[in-house]
């Protein structure tokens, strides 16, 4: 089906302005002391990173937390025999990701910044401590592929999020953008297409059915 599992079985997606309004309303009504955790999930190439950055720009004291920083290092993927399918659910440090989300819920009360890993796409390696998440943050926009997956340890993620958003985009555009991104980061056109239609598409097939669990659908731009 794809195309965001056919817009998650018929639900109408909202635009970014509408989503920002929903989040602002949640912030205004919030009594908890920790930051609001908003999770953006979608297939590879659906536009999660762009949408997350644009959403954070529209909100007060917000920052983006990409799941990409929790990729296992290349050496560990090689040791485990998983390098050829990097990006699959079991090629991430899900335990570390969950532990970080738990810590973020108490961020304001702790009064201490929490550091999260980033990801360098040029060398496809995580960068420890690259992102500082500080106590004054009111909203953290978490973006990643597997926030709504229901196995392999990922089922512990969604309950830690205050709002989940499925990012949907038609498959042809998604493939086009994904191939262009791989080329931009050094793959040949042939290798980019093979990866986008191979490992990336296998991961998309896992993600698409999970979008029906999102609280809101967002139309990617």
Q: Name 109's Cβ contacts closer than 8 Å, sequence gap at least 6.
A: 33, 34
Domain with residue 156: its CATH number is 3.40.50.300
CB-CB neighbours of 94 under 10 Å: 20
Name beta bridge partners: 92: 71
Write down the pTM of the prediction. Answer: 0.91
- Residue 2 pLDDT exceeds 50: no
Per-residue confidence band for 15, with pLDDT thresholds at 50, 70 and 90: very high
Angle at 49 (CA atoms; ends 68, 2), nearest 5 degrees? 95
Residues 64/25, Cβ–Cβ less than 8 Å: no
Q: What does the alpha-carbon distance between residue 66 and residue 69 come to, in Å, rounded to a whole number? A: 6
**Residue 51: half-sphere exposure toward Cβ, Cα within 13 Å:** 29
Residues 49/164, Cβ–Cβ less than 8 Å: no
pLDDT tens column, 103-140 = 998 888 888 999 999 999 889 999 999 999 999 999 99
pLDDT tens column, 148-206 = 999 999 999 999 999 999 999 999 999 999 999 999 989 999 999 999 999 899 999 99
Q: How many domains does the chain have?
A: 1
Domain limits for position 138: 3-219
* Local structure of residue 92 (DSSP, 8 states): B
- Buried/exposed 104-130: b ≥16 CB within 10 Å, e otherwise: bbbbbeeeeebebbbbeeeebbbeeee
Give the max Cα distance, the chain: 52
């Amino acid at each position: 089906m794809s195309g965001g599992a056919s817009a998650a079985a018929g639900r109408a997606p909202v635009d970014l302005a509408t989503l920002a309004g929903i989040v602002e309303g949640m912030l205004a009504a919030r009594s908890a002391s920790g930051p609001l955790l908003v999770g953006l999930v979608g297939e590879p190439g659906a536009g999660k990173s762009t949408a997350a950055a644009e959403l954070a720009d529209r909100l007060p004291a917000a920052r983006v937390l990409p799941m990409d920083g929790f990729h296992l290092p290349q050496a560990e993927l090689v040791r485990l025999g998983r390098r050829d399918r990097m990006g699959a659910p079991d090629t991430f440090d899900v335990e570390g990701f969950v532990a970080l989300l738990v810590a973020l819920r108490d961020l304001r009360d702790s009064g201490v910044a929490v550091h999260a890993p980033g990801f360098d796409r040029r060398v496809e390696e995580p960068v420890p401590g690259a992102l500082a998440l500080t106590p004054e943050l009111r909203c953290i926009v978490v973006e990643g592929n597997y926030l709504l997956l229901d196995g392999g340890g990922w089922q512990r993620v969604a309950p830690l999020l205050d709002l989940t958003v499925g990012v949907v985009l038609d498959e042809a555009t998604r493939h086009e953008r994904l191939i262009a991104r791989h080329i931009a980061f050094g793959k040949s056109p042939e290798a980019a297409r093979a990866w986008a239609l191979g490992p990336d598409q296998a991961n998309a097939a896992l993600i698409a059915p999970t979008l029906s669990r999102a609280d809101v659908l967002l139309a990617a731009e």
